[in-house]
Amino acid sequence: AKTPVTLLGLGAMGTALARTWLAAGHPVTVWNRTPSRATALAADGASVAATAAEAVAANTLVVVCLLDDASIDQALAGTDLTGRDLVNLTTSTPEQARARAAWAHERGARYLDGGIMAVPPMIGVPQAGGYVFYSGSRELFDRHRPTLAVPVDTRWVGEDPGHAALHDVALLSAMYGMFAGAAHAFALIRKEDIDPTALAPLLADWLTAMAPAVHQTADQLRTGDYTTNVVSNLAMQVAGTPTFLATAEQQGVSPELLTPYFDLMRRRLAEGNGNEDLTGVVDLLLR
């Protein structure tokens, strides 16, 4: 028999998760603060609990997918979690996840934290490439992995309950840096007779070609030797920055997304590291 799942939270993400478990034949008990959001799922076979406490009492495996950490306190206040396997897919900070793990343990529950690297349309679509980072109780992960892998793939990142959230935020932070660079690139051509849809494939291919550079950065961070073995060392790259700033100026584009990174490159060069790659910027960010 398929493992029964209790799911708290029927927002866009929770609803997508519930649908895939139902479709795969798992008995699903759902609860949502606003009951009307459960109506369609009930028609698809979900049991709808009147209260969060009732939903938690229904099954050992309790998955939480609420808006934020504070909403977990509100939803689960006064609920008996003794003996429950709590899997928290609510986006949180590493500190919140660690505190939530301690909170669950105090209440007699086991705890697994998840960071979802997918948007709702990717749930139940394996070829979309989404997955969830998991950290916390390895025992819980091993026990429930077949169930947890039904909606979206799983990636284990360690026993520290904060590490799923940390990996989640690290990847999304890098994504925002990429979006920032793309925004600047589009701004540069915006006033010209250049079709943005012609630039887009060039941009996507270039970013894809550059992405593997993260492996070299990682290797250098591990060895502590940042000396470049490619031709574009830091001194050369800093020497090129005026071209970027002048081009922005000429195109009537604010350099505000570029200058913070250029400033860090210059600081690293000023410290006498012109023969390095860009890896030293990582150290400058550490407070």
Tokens at 83, concatenated: 């003996």
Closest distance to ligand NDP from the beta carbon of 65 (Å): 5
Tokens at 273, concatenated: 């590291």
Cβ atoms 110, 85 nearer than 8 A: yes
Candidates 63-71, 153-161, 188-196, 251-259 — which segment interacts with ligand NDP by CB under 6 A?
63-71
Closest distance to ligand NDP from the beta carbon of 128 (Å): 12
User: Of 3, 20, 71, 259, which lies in the binding site for ligand NDP, with binding defined by CB under 6 A?
Assistant: 71
Asked if 39 interacts with ligand NDP (CB under 6 A), we say: no
Pick the closer one to ligand NDP by CB: 58 or 97: 97
Asked if 130 interacts with ligand NDP (CB under 6 A), we say: no
Pick the closer one to ligand NDP by CB: 122 or 248: 122
Pick the closer one to ligand NDP by CB: 9 or 280: 9
Each as own residue / partner, the long-range contacts of residues 235-244 (CB below 8 Å, 24 or more positions apart, any chain) are: 235/269, 235/274, 235/275, 237/265, 237/278, 238/262, 238/265, 238/266, 238/269, 238/274, 241/265, 241/266
Pick the closer one to ligand NDP by CB: 58 or 65: 65
Asked if 47 interacts with ligand NDP (CB under 6 A), we say: no
Instruction: Tell me 253's DSSP state.
Output: -
CA distance linking residue 80 with residue 181, whole number of Å: 48
Order the strands of the 85-88 sheet from edge to edge: 47-48, 28-31, 5-8, 61-64, 85-88, 110-117, 131-136, 153-156
Query: Minimal CB distance to ligand NDP: which residue?
Result: 11
Cβ atoms 7, 29 nearer than 8 A: yes
Count of residues that bind ligand NDP according to CB under 6 A: 22
Asked if 49 interacts with ligand NDP (CB under 6 A), we say: no
Q: Is 65 exposed, middle or buried (0-12, 13-18, 19+ CB in 10 A)?
A: buried
Pick the closer one to ligand NDP by CB: 73 or 283: 73
CA distance linking residue 157 with residue 160, whole number of Å: 8
Tokens at 280, concatenated: 């030293």
Asked if 29 interacts with ligand NDP (CB under 6 A), we say: no
Closest distance to ligand NDP from the beta carbon of 225 (Å): 37
Asked if 33 interacts with ligand NDP (CB under 6 A), we say: yes
Asked if 116 interacts with ligand NDP (CB under 6 A), we say: yes
Amino acid at 66: L
User: Of 90, 96, 228, 233, which lies in the binding site for ligand NDP, with binding defined by CB under 6 A?
Assistant: 90
Candidates 33-41, 94-102, 202-210, 252-260 — which segment interacts with ligand NDP by CB under 6 A?
33-41
Q: Which residues pair with 64 in a beta bridge?
A: 8, 88
Site for ligand NDP, rule CB under 6 A = 9-14, 32-34, 37, 65-68, 71, 74-75, 90-91, 116, 119-120
